[in-house]
Chain A
Amino acid sequence: MSKEWPLWEVFIRSQHGLAHKHVGSLHAPDAEMAINNARDVYTRRNEGVSIWVVKAADIVASSPSDKDALFEPSNSKVYRHPTFFPMPEEVKNL
């Protein structure tokens, strides 16, 4: 064997109307084989109506060490949630 097949991340849409969701990964020489293999590995029991495959090397991910810098700022902004504003009982449709 000359070289290792690239790794692909697999995303499946389980039903019409739902978003594609990451289900796992697999190796394949090209995109077409990746789709074929994804069908065999991840949809043996009607799990999907559509498959996306993306080369794992093309995914850019945030780093765990950046967690605070990225997500902490939203913690203090509770007013973004509608429950932050108490409404009087008698006011309807809000």
Chain B
Amino acid sequence: MYAQMVETGLKKVQTRDDMSAEEQAFQARIDAGVKIEPKDWMPEAYRKTLVRQISQHAHSEIVGQLPEGNWVTRAPTLKRKSILLAKIQDEAGHGLYLYSAAETLGVSRDELLDALHAGKAKYSSIFNYPTLTWADIGAIGWLVDGSAIINQIPLCRCSYGPYARAMIRVCKEESFHARQGYDIMMKLAQGSPEQKAMAQDALNRWWWPSLMMFGPSDAESVNSAQSTQWRIKLFSNDELRQRMVDQTVPQAEFLGLTVPDPDLKWNEERGSYDFGEIDWDEFHNVLKGNGPCNKERLRTRVKAWEDGAWFRDALVAYADKQADKQAAA
């Protein structure tokens, strides 16, 4: 998802016997549905896993602005441009809510940003694909933000208070993103044959990467099982992916577009769609840094950070000067 394959650093799921008295009390609170707050005692592995998960999620929001920024100056109308700007501004806001939540766990904002800029921190694989046409902006809102909503709604109930509260804010705003994307797709699908072909092309390119966002099957994963026990993961990757396919296929049908999967078929017995094999080699390759845009995304982020350094420094210099003046008075 926005946070994919998060490591817990543990080799096996902790049983009661593995836990200290403090850990048992902590797990009991989680099992009782009590939220964990920043000043509460927590196991070090829980804290570290959450830092990884929340910061990865934050980085994804920030890097996620880049593929869309590519189309701000080329949006087809002033209205579409204003809407896209508002969406991108939301993504920045989502990143900030999440960085704040991560900071309550005792890491600093600058540490997190340094890790991103040094290429040490992960962000979602999905943002390493290019936005070649305007229809890609529609497909991203519809499919990528749509998938994000499916992942994030359960996280509103996760065990860590600041993360859950950030997710509630994010989810409220995310519906706008998904709808504006579908609105773009509708307009194109109802337009000229060329416009409809453009919409179909975007669906063809974004469908599989969107399914990959949920991450490989984690039925056997110790990390996922442990995260589930801690209630910072509420559904398996496969369950969430199935939910995405089931809700999106009818939306594609309404548009008159074809989902690019010859194996896609309604399964009456399961009450769900069966779908084809995902190319996990591609996913792992993108995670390793070899996706179409990994290098460009990181370069753009670093450049924005470095180009803004003089301005941040000036703000600090001004604040220091004012503080000195006040101290002297």
Contacts and interface: CB of A to CB of B under 8 A. Distances in A.
Given A29-B318, A30-B319, A63-B39, A1 B96 contact: no
B314 to A, nearest CB: 9
Nearest to B316: A29
Nearest to A62: B39
A76 B134 CA distance: 65
Interface string B164-205: 011001000100000000000000000000000000000000
A55 B28 CA distance: 34
A4 B318 contact: no
A61 B39 contact: yes
Contacts of B96: 26, 41
B97 A24 contact: yes
A82 interface: no
Interface string B128-166: 000000000000000000000000000000000000011
A25 interface: yes
Contacts of B173: 44-45
A64 interface: yes
A72 interface: no
A30 B89 CA distance: 22
Contacts of A30: 315, 318-319, 322-323
Contacts of B86: 44
Interface string B82-117: 000010011001001100100100001110000000
B263 interface: no
Interface string B229-270: 000000000000000000000000000000000000000000
B318 A24 contact: no
Contacts of B40: 64
A68 interface: no
Nearest to B312: A1
A40 B93 CA distance: 8
B100 A24 contact: yes
B111 to A, nearest CB: 9
Interface string A29-68: 1100100000011001100000000000000010110000
A27 interface: yes
Contact of A2 (B97, B169, B313): B313
Contacts of B37: 64
A5 interface: yes
B96 to A, nearest CB: 5
A81 interface: no
A27 B109 contact: yes
Contact of A1 (B90, B100, B110): B110
Contact of B316 (A2, A24, A61): A2
A2 B320 CA distance: 12
B309 interface: yes
Contacts of B109: 4-5, 27
Contacts of B315: 29-30, 33
B108 A64 contact: no
A1 B313 contact: yes
12 contacts: A3-B316, A4-B108, A4-B110, A5-B109, A24-B165, A25-B103, A26-B100, A33-B315, A41-B97, A44-B173, A45-B173, A63-B39
Interface of A: 1-5, 7, 24-27, 29-30, 33, 40-41, 44-45, 61, 63-64
Given A4-B110, A44-B86, 8 more contacts: A1-B110, A2-B313, A7-B103, A29-B318, A33-B319, A40-B89, A63-B39, A64-B41
Rank and list the top 7 A-B pairs by shortest CB-CB distance, nearest first: A30-B319, A29-B319, A29-B315, A25-B100, A29-B316, A4-B110, A64-B39
